[in-house]
Amino acid sequence: MTANARAQVRLERDGDVAVIWIDNPPINAGSAAVRAGLLNAIDEVARDERIVAAVLIGAGTTFIAGSDIREFGQPLAEPQLPMVIAAIEACPKPFVAALHGAALGGGFELALGCDARIAAPETVVGLPEVTLGIIPGAGGTQRLPRLVGVPRALAMICSGERVKGAAALAASLVDQIAEGNLCNAAVAHARSLAGRKHRLRELSVLAGEPQAVADAVAAALKAGKNRPAVVAAIDAIKASALQDFDTALAGERAAFQQLRTSREASALRHQFFAERESAKHPELLGAATRTVQTIAVIGAGTMGTGIAIAALDAGYGVLLLEQDGGALDRGGSRIREHYAARVSARKMATDVAQSRQESLRTSLQWNDIAEADLVIEAVFEDLDVKREVFARIDGLARPGAVLASNTSYLDLDAIAAATSRPQDVIGLHFFSPANVMRLMEVVRGQATAPDALATGLAVAKKLGKLPLLTGNAFGFVGNRLYAAYRRQCEFLVEEGAWPEQVDAALQHFGFSMGPFAVADLSGLDIAWRMRQAQAATRDPAARYVHVADRLCEAGRLGRKTGAGYYRYAEGNKPMVDEAVHALIEQARAEKGITPRIISDEEIVRRVLLALANEAALLLAEGVASHATDVDLALVNGYGFPRWEGGVVFWARERGETALSADFAWLAEISGPGSRIGDPRPLLASSR
């Protein structure tokens, strides 16, 4: 037994019960050293005649929150987890898993390999491996159906569902909830087993009704977009009811080993580590956060009410402010309807919904801003309007309050200059709908104080958001990327593709929607206003496609007007419109462009290159904090397929030489005004 294994796993005795502590902070990841330590401890339990039972428990704040994900891209070191679980099952003495914090993935599989599971009330259990492109590989797909049945196991494993406390007990995922001292309760339960083993492998699979299984499979495939890990998980779970345990277990392990080295699993691990990296901000180390208990939201439109709901759900007191009584009434109604719908759908208890609504106050009195610790402006996206609002906030907000703009592309410094305290001003760019979308950009102004910025990041996390720290530049990170994406798609249409071909090619690649369908959904006038705002500073020699402007001038603003790039009838189904084709052909003719056939492969390649090139420019300008923030923005805000990792992941696969040549080719084909980014910052990994 190595010193590292001894340090991470230690065996203590509580009379005749062994208490095996797993101590691998911060999350007790199931590393090779932990597995080796467990195997040695299990062997000691088996050999010591004075021990009648054993308890597995995590030191610190959690049980085992999962395996060490860094191992998955490499040959797995011995002993592997199935060997540890087999040793527990082979040991004649019962093992009790004492769960607290998180027992996820391999941690929960280890618990399922024990003879009983005792949990603290706040414990979360689950098998979320499919979210990393793999399946449970240590018996999770075989033991879980023996506890909860095949249909429920399909739903849990194929979605990566996490189940908490009382719900876990009700579902038989744990045997007991320990309200007091967890270790003492687990030791008492271990003694009560009187030496009897309760191996899940010896139970019959709860197969379920054929229709219930079929429905669960269909739901899993639909929600999981038929991804390989979901398909493999379904096959493994169904095998639990069709094959003997050891045969099905071997099949599960083989599928796990094949999936973990796949490109898709690598891409999903890239996303996982990108989220970790996004939280690292050395320049903010030591910056204290300001106290935030009450949030004022100015503007009761769709965005403002969405922000208010997000804040209420996070436990903040919320003041929703408007200057128009009718708008305030409509905003209040939207919030009430939201909570009524949650209760009706049984996604929220009535008393919880009531409590959250009681934390909301609506007002037409601007003086009420004085009670807020954080003021979030969510008014019309116009610089003059926002400056006027901030000048008014400046005279009313209490000293030390953080003042935030929800602007999606405007100059934060110009907004902050309308106040006497630019050090308190930050950007909090919520994505719509604000209470649903996980991505948030936290924008640093030139004068923003570190503690104001740290407060914005902390609030974003409490709201359940994925915050990306960005510099102040037009469009920040997300909308800069999307503008480059949209612009390249417009070039492709100008050169010979049709909007519907571009949309179909990118949807086939994995985008949730194509860019032209998205434009119609959000409204073409939004991007039109952005282009108008930039018109004075646009290089007149730069290539510019007028098709979208012509559509707007014709009143074709998207779904809301029944026509944009597509026509819309009942059901809002997009239909190809020959009038749009004619408009595009006219625009090509005016520029003397002879259309050519463009393949779907070229469409995807040029879009990825345009995004990667823009990412390189954002890094060079210091707008993005980390290269991988680009991939988080695309996946969480713009429908980029998570299983493709992102454009930085793709760029790193291509390498510097190929990417440099590709960027030069893209600039040449894109025409005047194109800038070529340096690919090297994209390729530098921080891990």
Q: What are phi and psi of 125, to 5 degrees?
A: -120, 155
Following DSSP, what letter does each residue of 623-683 receive, concatenated? -BSSTTHHHHHHHHHS---GGG--HHHHHHHH-HHHHHHHHHHHHHHH-TT--PPPSHHHH
The C-alpha angle 513, 517, 520, rounded to 5 degrees, equals 140
According to DSSP, the β-strands at 402-405 and 425-430 are: parallel
> Active site residue: 71, 109, 179, 388, which one?
109
Sequence-separated (6 or more) residues with CB below 8 Å from residue 661: none
Q: What is the 3-state secondary structure (H, E, C) of 134-158?
A: CCCCCCHHHHHHHHHCHHHHHHHHH
Is 584 in contact with 547 (CB distance < 8 Å)?
yes
CA distance between the termini of the chain = 29
570 is catalytic: no
Contact 107, 30 (CB under 8 A): yes
Residue 14 DSSP symbol: E
Closest Cα partner for 219 from 154, 293, 290?
Answer: 154
Contact 163, 173 (CB under 8 A): yes
Two tokens, residue 484:
């480059």
216 CB neighbour count, 10 Å cutoff? 22
Polymer length of the chain: 687
Q: Is 344 exposed, middle or buried (0-12, 13-18, 19+ CB in 10 A)?
A: exposed
User: Using CA atoms, how far apart are residues 45 and 13, in angstroms rounded to an integer?
Assistant: 10
Say what angle helices 150-159 and 140-148 make with each other, to 10 degrees: 130
Nearest to 363 by CA among 386, 396, 332, 333: 332
Taking alpha carbons only, the member of 135, 138, 174, 172 closest to residue 154 is: 135
The strand pair at 124-126 and 294-298 is best described as unpaired
HSE-CB at 24 with a 13 A cutoff on CA atoms is: 25
Would you list the DSSP string of 419-465?
SS-GGGEEEEEEPSSTTT--EEEEEEPTT--HHHHHHHHHHHHHTT-
Residues 255/235, Cβ–Cβ less than 8 Å = yes
Find the catalytic residue in 12, 129, 209, 644.
Answer: 129
Catalytic site residue 129?
yes
Between CA 485 and CA 492 the distance in angstroms is 11
The reply to whether omega before 121 is within 30° of 0 (cis) is no
Active-site amino acid positions: 109, 129
